[in-house]
Amino acid sequence: MQPRCSIIWRPDDRRRPAGAQPLFHDRRGQSGGNGGCHFRAGADGQVGRAGGSATGRRDPDRGRICDGGGAAQPCPALADATGIMRRFWRDAAVAPVPDGWSVALDGKPVHTPGRALLTLPGERLAEAVAAEWRGVGDVLDPRAMPLTGLANAAIDRIAPAPEAFARQLAAYGESDLLCYRADDPPGLVAQQHALWDPPLDWARSRYDVAFALTAGVMHVDQPMATTDRLRAAVLAFDAFGLAGLSPIVTTTGSLVLALWLTEGAADPDTVWTAACCDEDWQADQWGREPLAEQARAARHAEFQAGTTFLALLGD
């Protein structure tokens, strides 16, 4: 059976919008199938997807953007009887192409799940993607290739309609994590002020906006000027920029934190610490739970993939 997107949400997702959801992250820490490395070796010598639909569909339960049917099964010539994809190439290299840089396996160009040439806008990003392919062991695991997954998403899922994707991602600004505060206990209130006020103060100054804060999880409307200006900031990203921005927004639950990071006003560790304020305080009081820590590690890996992807785009 092919993997499906999970509809399990973290507890604090109750105040987050439907719309742009993680590109390749399953909330149980498993691959959702959409960002993986799906390919075939055809008679034309190209490496591409081995069948399956590349059409995105919207999960009716949560509005999640899912891959059409999950990860494609590898073609028989490249897979064993269990359908496991095994490494068949000796080396991965990058080469310049008219629109950027491509990645080739033993001289055969890699294609996305949608059968487009995997073309990266910069050499540094292309080299990082090629390094993921070089690092594959005997068995290919798409979860170990997050940069390839984000590049696939940028080309197949975002580039055909970047404005629509950007608007869905910008919807997080309508119910940003940082605007929903605790009114008790005092320790948590103080921790939220210490970690969440700086990015909000930065956004107020950077975009000339105001934020409506509330205690609890009941939705509070943000001023129209605020949502409009935050949306404009997201619309300024191209398809590859949106691919990197998306996991930062969806794993933190905060558009403000993501913009704070991408505009160079904060480093990744500071942003991640702010995003985990509530759960860290709970863990300090009651201890850490193994399953919750596994889920957090999976989210952090996705967050790091997004930050690395954007950093490589900027080189």
Question: What pLDDT digit, counting tens, does each position of 89-106 carry?
Answer: 999 999 999 999 999 999
Domain ranges of the chain: 11-160, 164-314
- Is the pTM higher than 0.85? The answer reads no
- What is the reported pLDDT for 315? 65
The pLDDT score that the predictor gives to residue 191 is: 97
Nearest residue to 149 (alpha-carbon basis) of 82, 53, 62, 71: 71
Q: What is the pLDDT, as a whole number, of residue 132? A: 97
Span 127-147, pLDDT tens digits? 999 999 999 999 989 999 999
Q: Sorting pLDDT into bands at 50, 70 and 90, what band is 181?
A: very high
Q: Across residues 65-80, what is the average pLDDT?
A: 34
Percentage of the chain beyond pLDDT 70 is: 73
> Residue 248 and residue 276: Cα distance in Å, rounded?
13
216-274, pLDDT tens digit by residue? Answer: 889 999 999 999 999 999 999 999 999 999 999 999 999 999 999 999 999 999 999 99
- Greater confidence, 22 or 5? 22
164-314 shares the fold of 11-160: no
Position 199 pLDDT exceeds 90: yes
Task: Give yes or no for a contact between 173 and 256, defined as CB atoms under 8 angstroms apart.
Answer: yes
- Name which of 210, 215, 239, 213 is nearest 227 in CA terms: 210
Q: Which of residues 153 and 54 earns the better pLDDT score?
A: 153
55 has pLDDT over 70: no
Burial of 309 (0-12, 13-18, 19+ CB in 10 A): buried
Q: What CATH architecture does domain 164-314 belong to?
A: Orthogonal Bundle (1.10)
Given a cut of 90, is residue 60 above it in pLDDT? Answer: no
Whether 53 has a pLDDT exceeding 50, the answer reads no
Q: Please state, for a pLDDT cut of 90, what percent of the chain lies above it.
A: 70
Architecture of domain 11-160: 2-Layer Sandwich (3.30)
